[in-house]
Amino acid sequence: MPIYEYECKKCGKTFEIYQRISETSKDVKCPVCGEPDPQRKISAFSSCGTSGSGGGYSSGGGCSSSGHSSGFG
C-alpha cells in the first residue's frame, strides 16, 4: 500500500496517509486543524521498479536518488 505524505499549509503539520492508487487525495484532511486541502509531498516510498516482470532485477541501484555519497569510510 502506497503512502502519501501530506503537509498542511495552514498549520504546517506533516502526516502520512495510506491511500490506494485509484483514490487520489479525495478526503484528505489535516488531522490537526482539518484543512481540507493539504499539500501533497513526494514520499520516498515511491513505487520503484514496477514495470518489467520476470527479470533478474535484484540488488541494483537506480531507485535511490543520487545525493550526498561522499565521506564513507
Residues forming the site for Zn ion (CB under 5 A): 8, 10-11, 13, 30, 32-33, 35
Pair 7, 39: CB distance under 8 Å: yes
Q: Are 49 and 6 a contacting pair, CB within 8 Å?
A: no
- Residue 42, CA distances (Å) to 1, 6, 39, 51, 52 in order: 15, 9, 10, 20, 23
Beta carbon nearer to Zn ion, 33 or 63: 33
Of residues 11 and 63, the one with the C-beta less far from Zn ion: 11
What's the closest the beta carbon of residue 73 comes to Zn ion, in angstroms?
43
Q: Which is nearer to Zn ion, 14 or 46 (CB)?
A: 14
Cα 15 to chain centroid distance, Å, stands at 11
Instruction: Provide, rounded to whole angstroms, the least separation between the CB of residue 7 and Zn ion.
Output: 9
**Smallest distance from Zn ion to CB 23, Å:** 20
